[in-house]
């Protein structure tokens, strides 16, 4: 794995652990695609640090649990504006 990729994964991991931000927001912050961040966190991070990967997986699973609630709130706001 290229050192540039390892550095990006480290920065993304630190950012997620401190902010608990979503993959979409992390992608915007680091100017990469959401798919890249997902691959970094779900595949590449396990090769570098399985312990950190487990911590990140817990945060991402937490996001999945609240996804339907956020979607409903967004839809409600959209139709209130209309």
d(CA 52, CA 82): 44
Distance between CA atoms of residues 20 and 75, nearest Å? 23
Total-model pTM: 0.79
pLDDT of amino acid 33: 97
* Chain segment 11-62, per-residue pLDDT in tens: 999 999 999 999 999 999 999 999 999 999 999 999 999 999 999 999 999 9
Distance (Å, rounded) from C-alpha 12 to C-alpha 75?
A: 29
Gap between the terminal Cα atoms of the chain:
49
pLDDT at 74 over 80: no
Write phi, then psi, for 26 (nearest 5 degrees): -65, -40
What are the tokens at 72? 């409903």
């Amino acid at each position: 794995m290229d050192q540039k990729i390892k550095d990006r994964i480290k920065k993304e991991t630190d950012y997620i652990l401190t902010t608990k931000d979503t993959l979409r927001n992390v992608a915007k912050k680091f100017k990469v695609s959401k798919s890249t961040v997902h691959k970094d966190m779900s595949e590449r991070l396990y090769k570098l640090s399985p312990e950190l990967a487990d911590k990140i997986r817990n945060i991402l699973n937490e996001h999945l649990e609240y996804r339907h609630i956020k979607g409903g709130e967004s839809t409600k706001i959209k139709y209130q504006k209309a």
